[in-house]
Amino acid sequence: MASLLCTIFILPLVFNFKLDDVFTNVFGKSASAITTQLLEHPGESFDVAPFVDGRCRTPIDKIQKAVDGVFSYEQAEKLKIIRSHMNSLDRHKAELESLILGIAEKYTSQIKLLMTVPGINDVFTAIRIIAEIGVDMSVFETSKKLCSWAGLTPQNNESAGKKKTTRIGKSGAYLKPLLIQIAIASSRSEKHPEIREKYLALKKRRGGQKAKVAIARKLLTAIFNILAKNEPYNPTLYHKDEKPPLARVISQEQAISILSNMGYVLDPLILSTPLQ
């Protein structure tokens, strides 16, 4: 039996079908239907028109030319095994996703809040962030400490008052790449000009890579405030890590933001009392 399997799998899998030339997604509806027909009837010519979805933009004659070729029984059997394996992987993936969603169900409210952040467009991205940092932001005390923990702040490497490097740290092996991806997605979106404009300005001044890191750091700051305050994303939270203004006179909101970023816990009674 083993020798038979070896004989089958060393047979050539080269044939002149070019589905990837005519379909953007070879696992899509039309391509899958054509592949099924090929596997069930190897070596037989057929009209592709009945298998092509009406929304497909590729001309029928071009698709027909892509499937007119030699396709043996042995090749079909090999592809059936490969396809079965891929279908099995899809089933296991769905099972794992269902398991993850079940575990994350108790964090539903926090997940919904995180999905208001630009660049976080699916539930699993929000779950990945929660899996890394949790939902209790008091563990980190401040957004700056969280950003440092995630490896998004420059290393403090000085000697004789001179900075030796401004490179970011190596921590955050899983969280940092994810936040960079979110930063890239959000900086390309026109729905959030506060991010796009900041990214383009930083890119012009400091380069693309540093701009991505800076945007990721600002988004993580926003995430910290979202989870700490239990409120959705807004541009004000996005700017909470800005440096104190140079002006001597600042607003009450600016003062509260500065003190919060410095780690102070503000008395609710003072916050509720209007200034004279």
CA–CA dist 259, 153 (Å, integer) = 20
With a cut of 90, say whether residue 98 has pLDDT above it: yes
| pLDDT, average across residues 205-233 | 88
**pLDDT at residue number 265:** 65
User: What pTM does this model have?
Assistant: 0.66
Question: What are the CA-CA distances from residue 175 to residues 149, 193, 217, 222 (Å)?
Answer: 10, 24, 11, 15
pLDDT digits over 27-36, tens only?
888 888 888 8
pLDDT tens sequence across 237-256 = 555 444 555 556 667 777 77
- If pLDDT is split at 50, 70 and 90, which confidence band does 172 have? low
Looking at residue 264, the DSSP 8-state letter turns out to be P
